[in-house]
Amino acid sequence: MSLNATRILWINPLGFPDYDQPMGDYINSIKSPEVAVEVISFKSDAQMNNLEYRTFEALIVGDTVRVTRYAAKEGFDAVVIGCFYDPALEDSREISGEAIVVAPCQASIQVAANLANNFSIIIGQEKWRAQMTERVKHYGYGPRLASMRSIDVAAHDLQKDCGLTETRIINAGRKAMEEDRAEALILGCTCTFGLAEKVQKELGIPVIDPIIAAYKAAEHLAGLKKQFGWVPSRKWGSAAPSEDQITEFGLFREAPPIGNKLNFDVRGFI
């Protein structure tokens, strides 16, 4: 790897490695040549294949922070938490040192806000609605959320029959567009990777793939960091715990709970 390359860590926030390779390949296919990407999932007894429930998320919050700490120490420029609930985002941002932490929901919305007056989010199941709506409002975009539309497919089934999933997204997206007056769509799960393109062609409005939005935001913000020194604030609410406290409390002494790791290096340097 080039000494000075931008380095991005993509966290699949699960103790379940099966998404690592396809998501990694997908990211590899869209990344800038001069960026090195590491894709990881956790080493954990909890073998969840989705984060549809708050319970599941709760069980990976600690590990997400532990791995972000690792990213900070290892000098990554940016970290992406690869789940559309943006779990542990604020927690990770606190301990990320000079690494920027990015997540798909916030990143997707920020893109959409440059392309349209409002947007709808396509969700897999009704379960997601309450929590994601809360997130969107948290970021300040409540008034721009035209609707949530569910396609009634569980997160881990989204890639099972891509044609079927696309059809459902197109149908739900068309309703969002025609009935809720959405001007753009966001796919509300990172497991939809690769499905946006056809939907966009079909409906004729921007359809945001959250993996692309989040990953490219990480590249963008990592670039700003390297070029202009825009690292995360460490003041007031953004202050991190002191190293003394971390030592005193015995935190982060163990190796980071990384179970699986894939590297997608700077092109030509692998």
Do the Cβ atoms of 33 and 266 come closer than 8 Å?
yes
Specify the residue, 13 or 24, whose C-beta has the smaller distance to a second copy.
13
Specify the residue, 61 or 258, whose C-beta has the smaller distance to a second copy.
61
Specify the residue, 159 or 252, whose C-beta has the smaller distance to a second copy.
252
Specify the residue, 12 or 64, whose C-beta has the smaller distance to a second copy.
64
Q: Rounded to whole angstroms, what are the CA distances from 127 to 123, 143, 168, 220?
A: 9, 21, 17, 32
Whole-number minimum distance, CB 83 to a second copy, in Å?
14
Where is 185: in which H helix or E strand? strand 185-187
Whole-number minimum distance, CB 160 to a second copy, in Å?
16
Q: Are strands 100-102 and 78-81 parallel, antiparallel or unpaired?
A: parallel
Extract the tokens encoding 157: 């089934």
Whole-number minimum distance, CB 38 to a second copy, in Å?
20
Specify the residue, 90 or 161, whose C-beta has the smaller distance to a second copy.
90
Query: What b/e sequence results for 164-181 when a residue is b if at least 16 CB atoms lie within 10 Å of its CB, and e otherwise?
Result: ebbebbbebbbebbeeee
Alpha-carbon span 236 to 241, nearest angstrom: 11
Whole-number minimum distance, CB 244 to a second copy, in Å?
13
Whole-number minimum distance, CB 153 to a second copy, in Å?
16
